[in-house]
Amino acid sequence: MRHMVFVIAYIFFLYKDIREKKIGMIPLLIYALISLLTLVVVKDSITISSLKDMVFSIAFGLVIYLVSLFSDEGIGVADGIYFIINGLLLTLKENLILFLTGMLVAFIIGIFFYYFGNGKSRTESRIPFIPCFLPAIIGYIICIV
């Protein structure tokens, strides 16, 4: 169930981030509430080990959030909050893979813009970060099914 909630929320945030290049706090709050309700529903499958992993995954999201605050939103604040909420549904390993895949894809897109973009895209362009998770999400879905 947590997988379905995560994938559906990702698809929604993917759409919002591509269309508006930002994610509002209200959809993130709704995602957080739905994630908490999911934890209540699957509370029988939560062990001490999975609870500890959840705490570390949320802490990883907090680190990303703090980096976004101190880097003048090099990574968006909403992206940091997104990773904090993902910590409720994903293990630390899954959250790390998602982040590192996103960073790799963003790096490749940035290199492409640098070499093949016009003058403005080299210096002032900002790409939405959530679409960069798509390869990891596709792999995640393939592994679930």
pLDDT number for residue 81 = 94
Between 32-46, 55-69, 113-127, the lowest mean confidence (pLDDT) is in: 113-127
Alpha carbon distances (Å) from 88 to 19, 82, 128: 26, 10, 23
Residue 105 has pLDDT above 90, yes or no: yes
Alpha carbon distances (Å) from 32 to 9, 85, 93: 10, 6, 20
**21: three-class secondary structure by DSSP:** coil
CB 14 within 8 A of CB 121: no
In this prediction, residues 10-26 reach a mean pLDDT of 90
**Range of the structural domain that residue 118 is part of:** 2-144
Specify the number of domains making up the chain: 1
The CA-based angle 76-12-93, given to 5 degrees, is 65
> In terms of pLDDT, which residue wins out, 81 or 21?
81
Mean pLDDT, all residues of the chain? 87
User: What is the reported pTM?
Assistant: 0.87
Residue 34 has pLDDT above 80, yes or no: yes
